[in-house]
Chain A
């Protein structure tokens, strides 16, 4: 639920009155007077009633507000509750402010998870109050993410299936084979590569670990079925010891050496393509880079994209494959 700044200001007045042990059980009229004093505005009794209802029903606040018939006023059924109950130092607030700017620029959380978005919304409500001058609409960081990308609708169910190790059923469409298939997968993890999301899991159909693009998955359902644990070495091969997501079949993890021209060496030095990357720079400025990975389709594609500025030195099969195109 999006809370406007004016509504949140009234919530704070209501909260303050319900926390006041010297004047317990405030009525709507008491709250209206308090708003007049604190906010220089006189909200209607209907508005205040609605505010109380929103505070109670909101997933953000879940305020335990109860009307006491005996005392004819409102109170918190949990006396420890407050909408300001999280104590934050100035440093905490400053750090949160920076993080929120980052998250907002990355898409406000909507890209990933609705629940996360709700949590962010809750913090943002306070944030707007504490930093009324902040310019939250101005983008400082820009990412590749484009609204409308397919597949994110399944993100939550896949995340929970990975977390709880629930086998899943979904329909997969292969772009390359132009083929639909319904599959059962024992999910391991979600992985992002080049701004695209993939599910890595054990496929019963393939009898091995496979990668599935989220954009090609339809109607994921979780199954009550025994989860098949995958071999940790195999998981490592698919998830960590690789540049990209689709390993080339029948290729083990191996040393790959490539030579970069002086015009692109700096980029590889600045942005290593894999944690295993090492460099041996030549006097001219060109450089031999070595990585220890499972060769992947994405690695081949990336090598080719540099044309004559990048030459694979080792292994020979990869050198020939790159040269032949």
Chain B
């Protein structure tokens, strides 16, 4: 747990590096953990909407310091190799990934499911967080 820090939430609503990536909705910087919320919408690309999963070694990385924080928990999405199978091309899934707490300083983050991954991997680059943009959670 990181001392002297607040519970902050950042509203992002940004897409990943691939068309089929989930939208990155919010990042919560809490003293106990870092939580990242995503929303995934199925497309016509796959039969019955396809499936999603997240690699167990997914990590977030502080671009400047190169510090890495590996996934500790996932909610709403299965950890690979297990898959969450959709039922239709019109399904959606909200999910959250938990990582260890990070220092509450201005930073640029990468969220990496697979290093040098293709567009189907859930990778997000250069997510800028300015602490002043964070809103304190009660």
Identify the A interface with B (CB < 8 A).
166, 169, 171, 173, 178-184, 218-219, 221-225
Contact = CB atoms under 8 A, between A and B. Distances in A.
Given A169-B9, A171-B37, A219-B37, A180 B137 contact: no
Contacts of B25: 171, 180-182
A173 B94 contact: yes
Contact of B135 (A173, A181, A184): A184
A169 B11 CA distance: 9
A257 B120 CA distance: 55
B39 interface: yes
B56 interface: no
A44 B39 CA distance: 56
B12 interface: yes
A171 B90 contact: no
A132 to B, nearest CB: 45
Interface in B85-138: 90, 92, 94, 96, 135-138
Nearest to A167: B135
Interface of A is mostly: strand
Nearest to B6: A224
A219 B96 CA distance: 10
Given A171-B37, A223-B135, A223-B137, A218 B94 contact: yes
Given A173-B94, A178-B90, A180-B23, A224 B11 contact: no
Contacts of B72: none
Contacts of B23: 180
A235 to B, nearest CB: 24
Contact of A224 (B12, B37, B90, B138): B138
A180 B39 contact: yes
11 contacts: A166-B138, A178-B41, A180-B39, A180-B92, A181-B25, A182-B25, A182-B26, A221-B9, A223-B136, A224-B135, A225-B135
B138 A182 contact: no
B5 interface: no
Which 5 pairs of residues, A with B, have the shortest CB-CB distance?
Answer: A180-B39, A224-B136, A182-B25, A222-B138, A182-B11
Interface residues of B, number: 18
Contacts, number: 57
A166 B136 CA distance: 12
Nearest to A170: B26
Contact of A169 (B90, B96, B135): B135
B138 A181 contact: no
A180 B25 CA distance: 8
A6 to B, nearest CB: 41
Contacts of A222: 137-138
B1 to A, nearest CB: 19
A265 to B, nearest CB: 40
Contacts of A171: 25-26, 37, 39, 94
Nearest to A169: B9
Which of A179, A182, A224: most chain B Cβ within 10 A? A182
Given A171-B39, A182-B26, A222-B137, 6 more contacts: A171-B26, A180-B25, A182-B13, A182-B25, A223-B9, A223-B138
